[in-house]
Chain A
Amino acid sequence: MQPIFHSARILLPVRPWFIAATLFAALLLDFLPTSDWPWMPDWVALVLVFWSIREPRRVGMGAGFLLGLVMDVADASLLGQHALAYVLAAYAGAAMSRRILWFSLAKQALHVLPLLLMAQGVQYLVRAMPGVVLPGPAYFLGPFVGMALWPPLTFVLLLPQYQPEDRDENRPL
């Protein structure tokens, strides 16, 4: 059963250290030398959007800003480029967190795609200003891969919150 609002599955509360650990793991994945594969999704953006939808009270724009700063320094890009994109993505994620969880996972992934595209597009616009050479259309493949990863990612990141399923006929919930 999928962990959405009209499913009968009740999740355990999330542990804060697990959020921090997954964000750290996403940073590690982003730091892998994968610059030859432009279709690699931006893992930090994906996990950040996930937590800002699931736990908008714990992970929000502040975390997005800090992670963006870290990514900017590690990527040697303009300072503030990732920060701006992540802050906008975290805001949009928190804004739609109330309604997106009513949908099935496939439809959720469709909701997430514009967020990831926006995060990528903001960076594109920021860098397009001083007239640098722009990367090809493969640059925008990453968000689509990210969308495809949404259902498995949701499953993996919610694993620690699942309860063992023991059905009780007298208490259906």
Chain B
Amino acid sequence: MDHQPPPFFKRGPAPLARLSFYAMLSLALLFFDSRFQTLELLRQAVSLFTHPIQQLAQAPIEFLRNSTDYFSSLSQLREENALLRRARLSGAEALLRARDLEAENDRLRKLLEVRERQRISGRVAQILYAARDPFSRRVVVDKGQQDKLSAGQPVVDDAGVIGQVTRVFPFVSEITLITDKDQAVPIQILRTGQRSVVFGLGDGRLELRFLPVNADVREDDLLVTSGLDGVFPGGLPVAKVSHIERDTSYTFARVYCLPLAGVENFGEVMVLDPREALSIPEQLKPQPAPASATRPGGRRRLRRE
């Protein structure tokens, strides 16, 4: 059986075999990434290679931006400075009162033996660029594992909630904006105190779902975080109701909102530290299982009646 081709004609596996190998590999990656999210380590390893290239690609744009900053005129800066000073003065009164109110609130809460409000702290990060993926709304900021960021942390700017950290790489991390499709934020309507959840629509708007047609919502109602999720601290502004469709043939009203924060803008954002897990009161803690329930030596099995 000497029908082997001479070694210099050997080309490895046939193209179709190679195609099916690589296609199956890609499909397996797709499946595992979308269903189990178990490939973060691979992602981080590849990002160590892509990150410098991305920075290299950003460099000319950074340079252009910096140079225009450098040549911006003196009068412009002076004007901006005056504007900022005025803004700080007008905000000072509210800030001073807020400090006073916070102290008073603490005292009252102690008197009432209600849990104290959690203090918010965070760190400033710079938005580097919007992720190029046209299917989602995400941005990348310049802080990552090196700065002890972790997935799930809320992100705000000076006007309200922007989104949530969803993926952390060694030097950068990815923020899913609240306008991303099906990104949910638990909110309450400030005027009525009604709790609900607001969902991103993917086109820059948000939608308040599952509110009955006769619900007490008006245009220009302010939505703030309710803090019930254990992720977002309560009371942060999220969105303003922009348009309501009440059609009695549907069970729920369609309530569209616009985000308050500059979600699509670039600049600095604040990544809030993760909230401490709320401790469960003593009465509600799960009782340790009685000794007879576990068989010594054997693996305990859950049995459903």
Chain A residues in the interface with B (C-beta under 8 A): 24, 27-35, 38, 57, 60-62, 64-65, 68-70, 73-81, 83-84, 87-88, 91, 94-95, 126-127, 129-130, 132-135, 139
Interface residue? B143 (CB, 8 A): no
Q: A69-B46, A70-B50, A133-B181 are in contact. Are A78 and B22 (CB under 8 A)?
A: no
A74 to B52, CA, bound (A): 11
A79 to chain B, nearest CB (A): 4
B136 to chain A, nearest CB (A): 7
Interface residue? B134 (CB, 8 A): yes
Whether the pair B174, A76 counts as a contact (CB closer than 8 A) is yes
* B27-35, B71-79, B93-101: which lies at the interface: B27-35
A84 to B34, CA, bound (A): 15
Whether the pair B131, A73 counts as a contact (CB closer than 8 A) is no
- Scan B37-79; emit 1 where CB is below 8 A from any A CB, else 0: 0010011001101100110111001000000000000000000
**Which of A28, A30, A94, A133: most chain B Cβ within 10 A?**
A133
Q: Which of A57, A76, A91 is close to B131, meaning CB atoms less than 8 Å apart?
A: A76
A70 / chain B contacts, CB cutoff of 8 Å: 46, 49-50
Whether the pair B132, A74 counts as a contact (CB closer than 8 A) is yes
Whether the pair B138, A27 counts as a contact (CB closer than 8 A) is no
Whether the pair B22, A31 counts as a contact (CB closer than 8 A) is no
Q: Which of A35, A65, A77 is close to B130, meaning CB atoms less than 8 Å apart?
A: A35
Q: A73-B47, A133-B203 are in contact. Are A80 and B57 (CB under 8 A)?
A: no
**Which of A29, A33, A34, A75: most chain B Cβ within 10 A?**
A33
Whether the pair B23, A88 counts as a contact (CB closer than 8 A) is yes
A27 to B129, CA, bound (A): 16
A19 to B170, CA, bound (A): 30
Number of residue pairs spanning A and B whose beta carbons lie under 8 angstroms apart: 126
A38 to chain B, nearest CB (A): 6
Interface residue? B15 (CB, 8 A): yes
Within B1-37, which residues are at the interface with A (CB < 8 Å)? 11, 15, 18-19, 22-23, 25-30, 32-34
Q: Whose C-beta in chain A lies nearest to the C-beta of B43?
A: A73
Q: Which of A60, A69, A74 is close to B54, meaning CB atoms less than 8 Å apart?
A: A74
Interface residue? B257 (CB, 8 A): no
Whether the pair A60, B56 counts as a contact (CB closer than 8 A) is no
A135 / chain B contacts, CB cutoff of 8 Å: 134-135
By secondary structure, the A interface counts as: helix
Interface residue? B262 (CB, 8 A): no
Interface residue? B206 (CB, 8 A): no
Q: Whose C-beta in chain B lies nearest to the C-beta of A60?
A: B18
A28 to B237, CA, bound (A): 38
Interface residue? B222 (CB, 8 A): no
Interface residue? B274 (CB, 8 A): no
Q: Which of A28, A65, A80 is close to B30, meaning CB atoms less than 8 Å apart?
A: A80
Q: A76-B133, A77-B133, A79-B29 are in contact. Are A27 and B53 (CB under 8 A)?
A: yes
Interface residue? B167 (CB, 8 A): yes
Whether the pair B30, A139 counts as a contact (CB closer than 8 A) is no
B136 / chain A contacts, CB cutoff of 8 Å: 76-77, 132
**Which of B50, B56, B140, B201: most chain A Cβ within 10 A?**
B50
Interface residue? B234 (CB, 8 A): no
Whether the pair A33, B58 counts as a contact (CB closer than 8 A) is yes
5 nearest A-B residue pairs (beta carbon): A133-B202, A80-B29, A84-B26, A31-B57, A80-B30
B39 / chain A contacts, CB cutoff of 8 Å: 79
Q: Whose C-beta in chain B lies nearest to the C-beta of A73?
A: B46
A130 to B19, CA, bound (A): 25
Whether the pair A79, B33 counts as a contact (CB closer than 8 A) is yes
B202 / chain A contacts, CB cutoff of 8 Å: 132-133
